[in-house]
Amino acid sequence: MRTYTTWLPLALTIFAVLFYALLPAKPTLVGTEGLVESLLTLVSTLPGFYFAGLAAVATFGSTTMDHEMPAPAPEVEMRVRGQQVPVKLTRRLFLSYLFSYLVILSFGLCFALMAINAFASSIDVFQAAIGCWTGVAWPWLILKGAVGFVLTFLFASMVVSTLHGVFFLTEKIHQP
């Protein structure tokens, strides 16, 4: 699972950051025509779909959903009577965790993108203040790069997890 939750999103993030850094004309990031506004339009529609997927998985009546996944079955640590116990995942548990993760991630991204758009004018003032305080541009670039890297990583994680979920629902769930 580490491949889908960490390494693929990290690789996509590094690729996206390098691609952005090498662009000769940078796109507008914040504002009415900016990338943040476009991403917010996309990301704000996703929590409802993820909730619907979670509800469908949780209530789907097939008994095969409650069988342990084929070997090597992923495991999670669950607290049972105060102790951590490894539990092999069933398809229902796996998909429930996946859709729960995607709901939380999409809500978090929505709030972060809304905050960035809402505080766009304050961000410009903050950028100018950092330039005045330090006399150089690099602290702002580091802050902007760190926020951009984290948001890009979260978005990449959401994309990879969504695609993994779609693959699982179309292919793996029907295999014995």
Every domain of the chain and the residues it spans: 2-46+96-174
Q: Which pLDDT score is estimated for 161? A: 93
Helix axes of 46-59 and 138-170: crossing angle, nearest 10 degrees: 40
Confidence band for 176, pLDDT divided at 50, 70 and 90: low
Share of the chain above pLDDT 70, in %: 94
Structure tokens of 59? Answer: 């209530």
Q: In the predicted model, is pLDDT for residue 173 greater than 70? A: no
Confidence band for 117, pLDDT divided at 50, 70 and 90: confident
Confidence band for 162, pLDDT divided at 50, 70 and 90: very high
For residue range 28-44, list pLDDT tens digits in order: 888 777 888 889 989 99
Only one residue has tokens 């979670």, namely 54
For residue range 49-91, list pLDDT tens digits in order: 999 988 988 887 777 778 888 778 788 888 888 889 998 888 8
Q: How many angstroms separate the CA atoms of 54 and 60, rounded?
A: 10
Share of the chain above pLDDT 90, in %: 32
pTM for this prediction = 0.83
Return the HEC string of 102-163: HHHHHHHHHHHHHHHHHCHHHHHHHHHHHHHHHCCCHHHHHHHHHHHHHHHHHHHHHHHHHH
Q: How many angstroms separate the CA atoms of 55 and 18, rounded?
A: 38
Q: Are 68 and 138 in contact (CB under 8 A)?
A: no
* Mean predicted confidence (pLDDT) in 156-170: 90
Q: How many angstroms separate the CA atoms of 112 and 161, rounded?
A: 19
